[in-house]
Structure 1
Amino acid sequence: MKRTISYKEHTKNMITGFRFGKEHYLLRRMNIYFKGGLAGYLFLFFFISSTYSQESDEPSVLQEFQNAEAPEERFNIFFNSMDRYNINSAYDWLDTVKVYLGNSQKTSDDTAILQYKLMQAQIYNDLGDYDKSIVLARELFESSDTLDITSQKLILDVLDDNYAKLQLYDKQIVIRKRKRELGITENVAFYDIYSNLGLHRKARNQYIMEVKPTIADNDSYGLAKYHSKVGNYLRLDNSAPTALSELKKAKAYLDVFINDISKQKTEKELFDTEFLKAEIEGNIGKCHVLLGEFEEAIPLLESSIEVLKTSPVNSHQIEVVDNTLDLADANLQLERFREAKKNLDIDFDNTSILQDIKRNRLLASFYDRVENYRNAATYYRRNERIKDSLNQKQASLLKQQLVTIVANEDLENSQRLIDEQKRINEQARNEMKAKDERINLVFISLIFTLLGFAGLVYAYLKSIKNQRLIAEQKHIIENSLIEKDSLLKEIHHRVKNNLQMVSSLLSLQTKNTRSKSAIEALEEGKSRVKAMALIHQKLYQNDDLSVIEMQGYIESLINSVQSVYKKGGHNISITIDAEGTELDIDRAIPFGLILNELVSNSFKYAFPESDENGKIYIHLRKNGDQGYFEYTDNGVGMPEDADERTNSSMGIRLMNRLVNQLQSKLNIDRDSEGVRFWFNFS
């Protein structure tokens, strides 16, 4: 014989189940965090220890309520407690509040009377006695001017929920408009009302438009709720494949939130997360039923029912009924008749008309399959009577509700809400980013402290890996540098060869020329080409390709000039003071050409009679950014018309240009014996 339990007994069982559901929840979370790693396990261990130590020491919420001294303190305890029904049922609360209300009425404490009545209205709403809740809330609503804004919001929230449960959507809209007038909200939302009226696609579109811009990109919990809601609207609109995709996204985002141990979560967030996960799994299971994938649906529906039945929230109990009916449907399709009948025999309080129709349909289908046609006919007739009554009532009601909603819809307010939420969203992102950075630093410190030796081992192994990588990179870079040096040396070698070829061409031209002036000009050009070729020769012979050691270069240059002027210059005493001076190629080439001109002139003109006592002194120094060059010989000096020859002499003009290239000015001293050339450079 089937046992029917009363609503009061069912509610007490539900609250008791919620109390023990916390332990079940923590065990489920332990499994998730253990899979997530040692750090997650340690975090959960500390969380469970602190949770149970608190529960063992702290009194129940009702005891805390009774121990409070002032009505205002009791009011805050009642509405701020996350699980006021964890130990004591809603009926225990109702009896207690009635006692305090009677005492307040005896003392004519108007503020306390309003507060206790508001608590009564909320308790009746939690119990599903919506008519009583509305009567109390409307009485308070009419005198809401005497209450603060927080109390007014609570009253309007209770009325909003009651009207939604009773499908009085026009009155629900009035309440929401009142919230906007009081500044509690800036917009009147319609998507839940559209869904309750069966307009699921319109509900989804408006929900996406209003809610999507308000969710930050890094808010994984918010994104999970968003995709869950969108997926549920699609499921109700019979778009099961698309709904399944959205619901799987929601589950993925929720898993990210659950496994993100860098973010500290409150106890309320953890419980909400578990119930949201159960909702998502239940809706995924219902999608599988719609798609005929019954084997996949059954474990998801059973898991969802197991969690949601521990919740004190009315909407979750409605989900339990829906999931149970779909579970019965799946078992029925798989011809598991015993399991299906077991699901259909469960008595639920406050089921909706649509749920009654679905249950009757499934019972009729069950009796058809077991060939009990009399009972099947009974449930078919019940559905026909319900549907006829429903059609008559809903035809005019639906029209009235639709006209009310369309007439009151305010697109301008919707857009303003979206803009405001975008701004809040951006601000929240910045705050979240800064908070994440701080949390990450603290968390990293904690992880290294807990892991200790394991962290050191990991760092050591990583160091070895990095050293190998650095060695490989260093080897590659060294090979690249060697290859680059080889290429540069090859380039300088080829340039030197090309310049020597030019010098050889000039020599051939000299042999084929009879003009003395032309021969002299070609010899001078040949000397200058050799001076430049010598620079490139020194470069490819050096280990350092960026600079030239000038002492050796000047010695080689003088030897080269002497080879050109074979008739003289061999008896001249040449002193070179450039030891340790190095110049880059941009400065070395001009210096080489200048020296070539000066030494050539000394060999040709400074000692016309005899070079037995001839002396040449070359001085070159560079300290930091400043440099100094000096060239002297003790020859016959400059001729009397030197100034006129300066303008016509190619050698002098060439030296002036080269000195200008070094950003300096050539100075000539004719007063002393012989001649002296000098200039500063940088």
Structure 2
Amino acid sequence: DRIIYLSKKENLDSILINAYLTRAMIYQMARDYKLAMNYNDSALVNDAITDKLKIRALMGKAEMMWKLDYPEKDILKYLDQSKKEALKLKDSTSISSVYFRYSNLYLRKGDYVEAIKVLIKSSEIRPKHLILPRILDLAKLAKLFLLIDNTEKAEFYVKKAQDIASKHRYKVNDKIIAVLRGRIAMEKGEYKKADSLYTIALSSYSQAKAKKDIFSTYVYLAELKLKENKINLADENIELAEKFLSYIKENQVKVRYYLAKSKIQIYKNEFKKASKSLESVENSVDKINSLILKIEYIKTEALLAKKRKQFRKSLELTEKYHQLQDSLVQFKSAQKIFDIEAKYQTKEKQKQIELLEAKNSLYASKIKQEKLQKFIILGGGVIGFIFLMFLGITYFKVREKNKTIEKALKQKDILLKEIHHRVKNNLQLISSLLNMQSRYIKDKKAKQVSLDGKNRVRAMSLIHQFLYQKDDLINLSLDEYFKKLVNELFEAYQISKDRIETIFNIEKIELDVDRVIPIGLIFNELMTNILKYAFPNNRKGKIIINLFEENKKLKLELIDNGVGFDKENDFSNDNTFGFTLIDALLKKWNGIFKIQSGQGTKATIIIPDIYTK
């Protein structure tokens, strides 16, 4: 205020404009966006404003309009003007900053692909000495890729951001990176790691009194606890988030909050409250245009209808859910093709550069030899020309062949993904039908048989789901698959992970689909048997899952500290379907099945020469 007063008094316009813009920044940090915009306007109307400061004021104005939910066309007017000025000035700092603000606008519209494109431009142009903006570019790219369910790319950009932050000792960004790493860990099923990272971020945000970030971190923690089937802890985190709800304007964060809240209410059989929470979501989901959140909303609606025994509505919503999942897969396929094409174009450009360098080298050699002998240079020129002709013809032939191979590979990958996706959908439909049918079965044994059948189908469906979501369309990691299958079985039998602890000791082993399906079915049978019989009457316990290679043999062990088995429930009895299925699947590999019972049960599967048979 003192600087503004003195600048006006002494007619120091340059200092006055800088003071206005600094004032605008202070009000922006205090989240008083209207006052911030007013000070940007004060800077813009001053005739003495320099080109660089004009760009800064235009960007500031556009950003405040975005914060205050102005119409898109009004925001674009100022952003386009700032872009025009920045390009005219050829200032990379200003250009990258403009692109960053464009990404905010596209993000609000739900156009994540355009947001990613302009943000990549921003990170490419951004000068290397601007460490903090570079970190924020990369962190935001990771966030955007998480929004389109691309965990692999999100992880790539988080690592880049973390590497720059570590190299330059920028600890101010630890909390941002911690949240992103937590969300990635959560999507990968690494729940303990996610919990630890969220806790670190929450501590930092609490010290900084960053209400919006505290709110979103509590919501992520609630989502994490829901994935772990820890409903009470999820409820605690949602209640803590609710204290900061009045500070939140962004629809996207609110949608995540209400979705988590409605799921908790469904699991607590508070169906009316859940319905009310979902009503709060409906309009916002359409407004933010997020496919991922729409899918989650439909999935939650279907769960509520199922719990209320509204089976027709549940089936309709499930069908709609699968249609949206198909759209997401197509979107990801389009992303993949775009990436492949981008890589291919880069290779082509590199080839052209190399060819030009080869031509330049030959030309330089030609000039050098001309000084020595005209006759030799003439002969060398002819030979060089013939060589270049040969090189050019060979290059174009190879390029055409590469194009054909590239096209065929793209088509093969898309077809394989589509096949895996359709197989998964068909198996999921069978699973849903079995689930619905079991609702009308009165006999307990028949109902149990139907549930077991549904879980076997789900075990196979998961394999195809993993394959169409990965780059490798042939091989599957048993580590990821077993963890996901265990989560599905806990959910199917409505068992809390607080009651039964699961410990995984699994080596990184990858097998093709023909081997994974039988192993998955065997594992499903063993795990199902433990969950059904080992811990009766809500008894607490522990399950240890070991998977490793030993002397070229695959060894799978499931150990529990439950009640052990008896003759009535022992599925190793020749008359039970479980043993018959395991026996039939193991015969193909001359496998061995051993089961021991004492204080608990230990089931061991040994498969020799797993990679060759």
Question: TM-score, with normalisation over the residues of structure 2?
Answer: 0.40
Question: TM-score, with normalisation over the residues of structure 1?
Answer: 0.36
